[in-house]
A and B are shown apart, each in its own frame.
Chain A
Amino acid sequence: MSGVFVVLAAFLASAVEMVEALTIVLAAGVTRGWRSSLVGVGVALLALACITALLGPALTLIPIDALRLIVGALLLIFGLQWLRKAILRASGFKALHDEAAAFEHEVAAAKSEATVVRAGLDWYAFTLCFKGVLLEGLEVAFIVVTFGATAHQVGLAAIGAAAALVIVVGVGVAVHQPLSRVPENTLKFAVGLMLATFGTFWSVEGTGAQWPGSDAAIVAILAVYTVVSFIYVRLLRTQRAETLHATLAQGRT
């Protein structure tokens, strides 16, 4: 059962980050040319492969209880960051991420920059794509390596990430525009919930405490976190509506 969750979490997290990276690469490629942009992508992927190849085996050397405690705590903190932002977006306290707007912003920025050629490459396009893919990819690498190592299923996590890569790049190449129809905010909500769930499960196991029902507790934690998150969204929406109402009433008087 946890294998399915590992693949799903790796797939969703990777898809979200790859959609964002694709927007940056498309903007650079369309406005500055594809050669320098794709070289930037290639170098970033190489750097990510090196980081993953170093981190993955290193993590497997740590004893399982210590690994679950430390990596679980990191995943929990990292996942709560995603979940917090997702709840704030869903309740209107934070602007929704809009790939079309992000694409327009990147295109305008790329057009306004002068061309500087270094090592035969358009340096702006190269660095933009390198940074974009490396930073978005680092989150994917972090999730895949920590999930995979802690669940002893690095292969499954990698399959989830690879599937996301194939689908996002395939669709991106086919439509040749940012994937603004992907429900990114909903996906981020789901990923935040899954990271927080697994982070909680593993870190508590690492302390020596025992979950009632063993692995079945994962489903219960996910259910509780989901319900409470939706309650938070509802409460925040009510609070926001009341504040707007009060502000409007004040403006009238």
Chain B
Amino acid sequence: MSLLVGFARFWYDFIIGDDWTIAVAVVVALVVTILLVHVQVGGAVWWLVPLAVLAFLGASLWRVARKT
């Protein structure tokens, strides 16, 4: 069991790292993009992911700056 936990923790640290909110933002932005592509908007929603990435990266950096 502890081996599995260690394995999962390694991959979590490896891929996600210090701030999980960025990973969640990426996943949510991609899911919303998929929904918009398939439901109504078509292919012109390319801007959503980069916008979310830059906004959440900025928010993450700002949190570090405020804490320090």
Q: Interface residues, chain A, CB within 8 Å of chain B?
A: 69, 73-74, 76-78, 80-81, 83-85, 87-88, 93, 138-139, 142, 196, 200, 203-204, 207-212, 217, 221, 224-225, 228, 232, 236, 239-240, 243
Q: List 12 A-B contacts (CB under 8 A).
A: A83-B57, A84-B57, A88-B61, A203-B26, A208-B38, A209-B33, A209-B37, A209-B46, A209-B48, A210-B43, A210-B44, A239-B65
Q: A200 and B50: CB pair below 8 A? A: yes
Q: A84 and B54: CB pair below 8 A? A: no
B14 at the interface (CB under 8 A from A): yes
Q: Is the interface of A mostly helix, strand, loop or mixed?
A: helix
User: How many Å lie between the Cα of A43 and that of B53 in the bound state?
Assistant: 38
Listed from nearest, the 3 A-B pairs whose CB atoms lie closest are A210-B43, A81-B17, A208-B37
B23 at the interface (CB under 8 A from A): yes
Chain A-chain B contacts (Cβ-Cβ < 8 Å), number: 96
B64 at the interface (CB under 8 A from A): yes
Q: B61 and A209: CB pair below 8 A? A: no
CB of B24 to closest CB in A, whole Å: 10
Given contacts A80-B22, A81-B22, A209-B48, list 5 more A-B pairs with CB under 8 A: A80-B26, A85-B18, A203-B26, A209-B46, A228-B54
- By a CB distance below 8 angstroms, the chain B residues around A204 are 30, 33, 46, 49-50
Q: Interface residues, chain B, CB within 8 Å of chain A?
A: 14-19, 22-23, 26-27, 30, 33-34, 37-38, 43-46, 48-50, 53-54, 57-58, 60-61, 64-65, 68
Instruction: Report the nearest B residue to A81, measured CB to CB.
Output: B17
Instruction: Report the nearest B residue to A69, measured CB to CB.
Output: B30
User: How many Å lie between the Cα of A93 and that of B58 in the bound state?
Assistant: 14
User: How many Å lie between the Cα of A212 and that of B46 in the bound state?
Assistant: 8
Instruction: Report the nearest B residue to A142, measured CB to CB.
Output: B14
Q: A221 and B50: CB pair below 8 A? A: yes
